[in-house]
């Protein structure tokens, strides 16, 4: 099988099974207990957290959650709002952010959405025009899960500090972590989200980085774990394996190789498909994502045809429980005849040029077959 949907999820490193066994079977002790074996587990967990902070060049704390979605919710609902404040987010935020702020809208909170260009990059002029001093929270994803577009978070943070000094700045980094070098200190963000299964870690493990001195309200109350912000017995094996997965992913990262593979696929798809729009800007995009849309074509049909050939690709975000949605295509400015034909290729460090060549060959065959069926031949 050739797996080209790594933005949806990645294969867990096999070694993590050993970590799970160590901390779920052998050293299974509750970190909140006071006996020596529990204290040893706590030390291991703290070392893993610090390793993650060091890799991401941060200077704060990480609050571990059960997913990137939960971490995003924590950022949105945990922010301390003030009278007549508003929240500013981009048009194409992940549903974890979008649905959260829509919920706040129903509670009377003012929310404004910043437009993006045809690749998913935030329109800076529109951002500045909506950045007023009553903003309590800004949330802009670091890299778009649909198109791979990379936003200039450092620049947007600086603009926010100038115009809205009371605002906290959150960035959803779920797609960026493990794909590009991250320096949280340089970015200047107050909060930053990641999810372990996007870089070969366990599913069910997410995290919210909080810069030093940043205070938010907890969503889950109880025993006071995770600095009092996420009460529940810690997922020790999840936390420790996340540090392992992140470290290994960055050691293996080869951005130049990934760019060559994605460029090869894009060039050849444009030869195969006459009515195709590229949604990825190669100058400001992750090296592992290619998004494109085919006119008057149901992308899911191509997905299933390719699956029969042993090739897995995606139709966009895999986090919407298969619900049809048009929010992102509309925000990108696509016309309706392209909505259903939006597809996404996302590779990882193990993808080879031979995989890309096989994909192009099989895609050409599947597209030709689909065209013949649609034309009645």
Q: Which residues are catalytic?
A: 319
Cα(152)–Cα(372) distance, integer angstroms: 43
Cα(358)–Cα(351) distance, integer angstroms: 11
DSSP state, 12?
P
C-alpha triplet 202, 206, 207: angle, nearest 5°: 140
DSSP-derived pairing of the beta strands 276-278 and 289-294: antiparallel
Cα(88)–Cα(138) distance, integer angstroms: 5
Q: Checking phi first, is residue 109 left (phi over 0); if not, alpha (psi -120 to 50) or beta?
A: beta
Query: What are the backbone angles phi and psi of residue 234, rounded to the nearest 5°?
Result: -65, 145
Do residues 147 and 280 touch, judged by C-beta distance below 8 A?
A: yes
DSSP-derived pairing of the beta strands 110-114 and 168-172: unpaired
- Per DSSP, the chain holds a count of helices (H) and strands (E) of 12, 12
Residue that is written with structure tokens 């990480």 in the block: 62
Do residues 60 and 53 touch, judged by C-beta distance below 8 A?
A: yes
Q: What is the CA radius of gyration of the chain?
A: 21
DSSP-derived pairing of the beta strands 2-3 and 135-139: unpaired
Do residues 295 and 341 touch, judged by C-beta distance below 8 A?
A: yes
The secondary element (H helix, E strand) that includes residue 37 is: helix 36-55
Q: Which two tokens stand for residue 257?
A: 């190789």
What CA dihedral angle connects 298, 301, 303 and 305, to 10 degrees? -150
Query: What are the backbone angles phi and psi of residue 149, rounded to the nearest 5°?
Result: -60, 135
Do residues 241 and 221 touch, judged by C-beta distance below 8 A?
A: no
């Amino acid at each position: 099988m050739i797996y080209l949907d790594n933005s949806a999820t990645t294969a867990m490193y096999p070694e993590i099974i050993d970590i799970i066994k160590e901390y779920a079977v052998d050293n299974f002790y509750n970190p909140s207990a006071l006996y020596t074996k529990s204290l040893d587990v706590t030390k291991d967990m703290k070392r893993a957290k610090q390793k993650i902070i060091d890799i991401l060049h941060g200077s704060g704390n990480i609050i571990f959650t059960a997913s990137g979605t939960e971490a995003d919710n924590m950022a949105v609902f945990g922010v301390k709002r003030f009278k007549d404040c508003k929240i500013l987010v981009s048009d194409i935020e992940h549903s974890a952010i979008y649905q959260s702020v829509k919920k706040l809208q129903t509670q009377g909170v003012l929310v404004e959405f910043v437009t993006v260009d045809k690749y998913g990059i935030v329109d800076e002029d529109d951002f500045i025009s909506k950045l007023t001093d009553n903003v309590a929270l800004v949330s802009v994803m670091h890299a778009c899960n649909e198109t791979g577009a990379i936003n200039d978070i450092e620049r947007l943070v600086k603009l926010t500090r100038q115009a809205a000094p009371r605002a906290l700045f959150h960035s959803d980094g779920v797609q960026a972590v493990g794909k590009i070098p991250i320096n949280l200190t340089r970015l200047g963000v107050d909060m930053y989200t990641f999810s372990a299964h996007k870089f070969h870690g366990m599913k069910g493990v997410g995290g919210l980085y909080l810069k030093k001195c940043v205070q938010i309200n907890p969503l889950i109350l109880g025993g006071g774990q995770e600095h009092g912000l996420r009460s529940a017995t810690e997922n020790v094996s999840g936390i420790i394996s996340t540090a392992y997965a992140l470290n290994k992913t960055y050691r293996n990262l080869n951005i130049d190789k990934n760019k060559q593979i994605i460029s090869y696929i894009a060039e050849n798809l444009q030869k195969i498909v006459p009515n195709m729009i590229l949604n990825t800007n190669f100058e400001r995009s992750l090296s592992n994502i290619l998004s494109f849309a085919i006119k008057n074509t149901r992308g899911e049909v191509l997905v299933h045809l390719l699956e029969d050939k042993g090739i897995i690709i995606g139709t966009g975000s895999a986090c919407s429980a298969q619900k049809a949605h048009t929010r992102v295509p509309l925000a990108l400015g696509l016309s309706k005849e392209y909505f259903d034909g939006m597809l996404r290729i996302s590779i990882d460090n193990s993808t080879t040029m031979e995989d890309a060549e096989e994909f192009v060959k099989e895609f050409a065959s599947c597209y030709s077959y689909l065209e013949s069926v649609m034309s009645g031949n």
